[in-house]
Amino acid sequence: MNLYVGNLTYDVVQNDLENLFSQIGPVKSAVIIRDKYSGESRGFGFVEMESQDDGKAAIEKLNGTELKGRSIVVNQAKPRRDNRAPRQGGGGRGSRRY
């Protein structure tokens, strides 16, 4: 199960997430999202747990707990939207010919 972890301090690193979540169950991966220009943390990341049950347990036990002085947010990650896919709906005014 893929989990979103938010409200992270900027000094939280991948190992911090792995250590915290491994207390619940096996962690497949953990990543901190960083700004592509500055390389600084954007204050959130993702943790992938090996099983659905471990993911649900992590949400229940870790959401609202403190990590390096901040209360973190843990919930199920939403599927990633493909930015290259055409979007539905209009936008813009277009040109009209009379």
- pLDDT tens-digit series, residues 25-73: 999 999 999 999 999 999 999 999 999 999 999 999 999 999 999 999 9
Contact 75, 51 (CB under 8 A): no
pLDDT single digits (tens) 2-27 = 999 999 999 999 999 999 999 999 99
CB 24 within 8 A of CB 54: yes
Q: Give CATH for domain 2-74.
A: 3.30.70.330
pLDDT value for 98: 59
CA distance to 6, 13, 70, 73, 75, per residue, from 9 (Å): 9, 9, 7, 12, 17
DSSP state of 64: T
Closest CA relative to residue 22, chosen from 59, 49, 43, 56: 49
- Domain locations in the chain as residue ranges: 2-74
